[in-house]
Each structure stands twice: as structure tokens, then as C-alpha cells.
Amino acid sequence: MDQDQYYKSTYKQSALSADRQRVDRLSIFFNDSLKSTKILDVGCGPGVQTKFLTEHNDVYGVDISQDALKEADQNGLTTVYSNLDKADIPFENNFFDIIVATDIFEHLFDP
């Protein structure tokens, strides 16, 4: 099963139910204090966990699923396809102020 099939058949349904809790937790840390910040959401999926930050910040999302990235783009993230197992995130060092990686490490072969 490739990543897009997994996303459509399994991950999307289970992740959406847990996203509200994750958003609540992230908002505790980020609150309304972030403005004009560059944020990277690693393994962003559909972008629902960080879309609340897009109003006042530049939020980028990387994921291996093209389908998930389409949804993240609709949620206001600037999206980039990346196979994180190959460490090919195409940004300069120190480009981001904050990097968020929730629910991603268990999907990597060699984190």
C-alpha cells in the first residue's frame, strides 16, 4: 500500500478524530503570541493541526502524501512534498523559527 492509499483508507479517518485534541494542546503553547513567525509542520497531513496559525504566520507543511498536501494547501499551509526518510526537506538551515512534528516519528523507518 503506498502513502496515498494509506492516507485515504486508514490515516485520514483516525487522524481527524484526534486532531481537535492536538490543536488544543498546540494552542496552549502557541496561544496568540506568535506573529510573523515561520513555522514548519513536519508530516503535516491535511494541515488541520496548524491551520489556526496561518492567519498571522507563514506556515509550511511537508508530507509524503500528495492527497494530504492538497488538503493542507486548502487549509492555508504552503506545502512541499518530501520523503522524510530520505531527509530531503528543501529549505535552508535556520529558515524556520519553529518546527512542529506531531504524530510523525512512528511512521519513519530510521528517525
- The domain locations on the chain are 36-106
What pTM was estimated for this model as a whole? 0.74
Which 3 state secondary structure label does DSSP give 89? coil
With cut-offs at 50, 70 and 90, classify the pLDDT of residue 89.
Answer: confident
C-alpha cell at 105: 516519528
> Which class is 36-106 in CATH?
alpha beta
Q: Which tens digits make up the pLDDT trace of 5-29?
A: 665 666 555 555 556 666 666 666 6
Identify the band that residue 53 occupies on the pLDDT scale cut at 50, 70 and 90. confident
How many H helices and E strands in the chain?
3, 4
The number of residues in the chain equals 111
Inter-residue contact 107 to 43 (CB < 8 Å): yes
For the chain, percent of residues with pLDDT exceeding 70? 61
Is the confidence at residue 40, as pLDDT, over 90? Answer: yes
C-alpha cell at 12: 485520514
